Structure 1
């Protein structure tokens, strides 16, 4: 005696829950929610695109990275040299030497003045003048040292550092080139990768965060999760991001075909094993009170769930029909 199995399909779940029909069993077909999919193309993108910028202007004397390199946060990307800063350092050092010599002489004069003042040879006013001269020279030396630290810091800022860890996407400069302060030396793709897609605004209300997205690449089907939908519509298109586990990021900007759930409709589904072909027509065996009878049907889309391929029947069956799910 054949058993009758019921097929249960949850709405917009991205997968179908079904009882595996065994050979010789029957299935009572009832309307089930069938997801409607919209095929679109998405591009592989990094979450952030952070520029590594020059902090000073000058000539690029060293370029340590190229496109495709992986860098760590704070890693040196390039070195920029400004010869004017080196000249400033040399000039400041020369002034420091000169003022140092003057300070040594002023301090010696002050010591002699103090000795003479104790013996009453010079007045206190002359001694104060010698002390003032020492104080002025010490202040000038302190000011020059501070100025030297500023210039030295500018020279240190000639090292262009990676702001975040990630993949070097572009290096728009070359060794020996001249750059200005704030100019981009390299672009770093950081924060992991995702798929970014654009879809017509008429589907905006049907997209929901958390939806399962089907991805087809190199003949292999995987799935992802709709992680973010951007509220700004540009050119009649809505942008969205899809999280995909272990997404290949060798080529950023690579296009990948995906399918989005944009709605659902009620349909009659039977296992693919229930269909037979003859003379270019598709048949399904239907159980009648008088016995099995082959009926011509028009099949539609195929859906795989839990290892079983289901076929939507567009015409030839009605709800409540009992079909033979497989043939011995």
Structure 2
């Protein structure tokens, strides 16, 4: 009996000397779970400058391309025929110019002997000049057609990943149609939040992003003023949005307000038979109270559990 009395005395002394925490309401952030979409910062179509048939197509969805890299070739067969026709015209004009220059040379020799008048010589000189100008104009027209032919090469407009290739080799397209769509400039997260939370949003607010089974931090950098279909659009910057998919949806937690809550250290909550208990120092004794706890909240000074019922402000919680 004496030994039991001593043991009981030691237990009471240990309980009395145990560390306690006095509960008081603290301010916690209210989070709203929404879905966000990972989007490319710049989405640029690679357009064909020339209408015709796609003869080469070296890019497909998912390829990484550099600005200026050739991804397709469009050819218009009519341009080849036009170049051949212009070459024939230039050849004919050059033959006429050769004959006109020969007549001009003879005329210059005959005018000195008085056989040909000066008026006729001027006509021959003018005819040679007209033919030379016609050759120059035709060659310039040929250069324009050659330039059009070279514009059949479709280059990537920016560095990035090929998102969409809407056609195949052999397809016929018009000038200005997109051959591929390039997504570049990095990734960002776009949110669509119910308008009832619009007044609680603020720029530079910290955002929680759940992606690929891990949680990363982001920052709300832009809130768009126009509400569409009852939702507010906002953009989030995050440095670890590396993903193989664009327009992927991820779960995001957005701060939409603050509230008062009772928090106890997570290790102070003991679960037995599905019921949570917290030890409380009351009237010089340590007793256990059944509580209803909520989510686990991480704070800079540790991990806490929110107590919904079973405790009140001012209670002294005994820490293990």
Q: Within 2, Cα distance between the matches of 1:279 and 1:155?
A: 80
Query: Structure 2 length as normaliser, TM-score?
Result: 0.89
- 1:54-86 deviations in Å (ceiling 9; x for gaps): 111100000010000011111112111101111
User: What is the count of residue pairs matched by the alignment?
Assistant: 304
Match of 1:104 among 94, 98, 107: 98
Q: How far has the Cα of 1:112 moved from its partner?
A: 2.3
User: Structure 1 residues 267 and 110, CA, compared in 2 at 3 Å: closer, same or farther?
Assistant: same
- 1:150-207 deviations in Å (ceiling 9; x for gaps): 1111111111111111110010010001001111111111111112221111111212
Q: Hey, which of these two has a bigger chunk of helix by percent? A: 2
Q: How far has the Cα of 1:29 moved from its partner?
A: 2.3
**Native 8 Å contact 2:25 2:313 kept in 1:** yes
Q: How does 1:88-237 map to 2 (within 5 A)?
A: 88-237=82-231
Q: Within 2, Cα distance between the matches of 1:137 and 1:249?
A: 65
Query: Structure 1 length as normaliser, TM-score?
Result: 0.87
Q: Within 2, Cα distance between the matches of 1:106 and 1:45?
A: 68
Q: Are residue 271 (structure 1) and residue 265 (structure 2) matched?
A: yes
Q: Are residue 46 (structure 1) and residue 46 (structure 2) matched?
A: no
Q: How far has the Cα of 1:26 moved from its partner?
A: 2.5
Q: Secondary structure at the match of 2:120?
A: helix
User: Structure 1 residues 307 and 103, CA, compared in 2 at 3 Å: closer, same or farther?
Assistant: farther
Aligned counterpart, 2:24: 30
User: Structure 1 residues 300 and 114, CA, compared in 2 at 3 Å: closer, same or farther?
Assistant: same
Q: Within 2, Cα distance between the matches of 1:112 and 1:269?
A: 113
Q: Within 1, Cα distance between the matches of 2:174 and 2:237?
A: 38
Query: Which structure 1 residue ranges, 4+ long, deviate > 6 Å from structure 2?
Result: none
Q: Are residue 284 (structure 1) and residue 278 (structure 2) matched?
A: yes
Q: Within 1, Cα distance between the matches of 2:154 and 2:202?
A: 42
Query: What is the CA RMSD across the aligned residues, in angstroms?
Result: 1.8
Q: Within 2, Cα distance between the matches of 1:232 and 1:73?
A: 34
Aligned counterpart, 2:9: none
Aligned counterpart, 2:254: 260
Task: State the structure with more CA Rg.
Answer: 2
Q: Within 1, Cα distance between the matches of 2:239 and 2:44?
A: 23
Aligned counterpart, 2:75: 81
Q: Secondary structure at the match of 2:183?
A: strand
Q: How does 1:57-68 map to 2 (within 5 A)?
A: 57-68=51-62
User: Structure 1 residues 307 and 161, CA, compared in 2 at 3 Å: closer, same or farther?
Assistant: farther
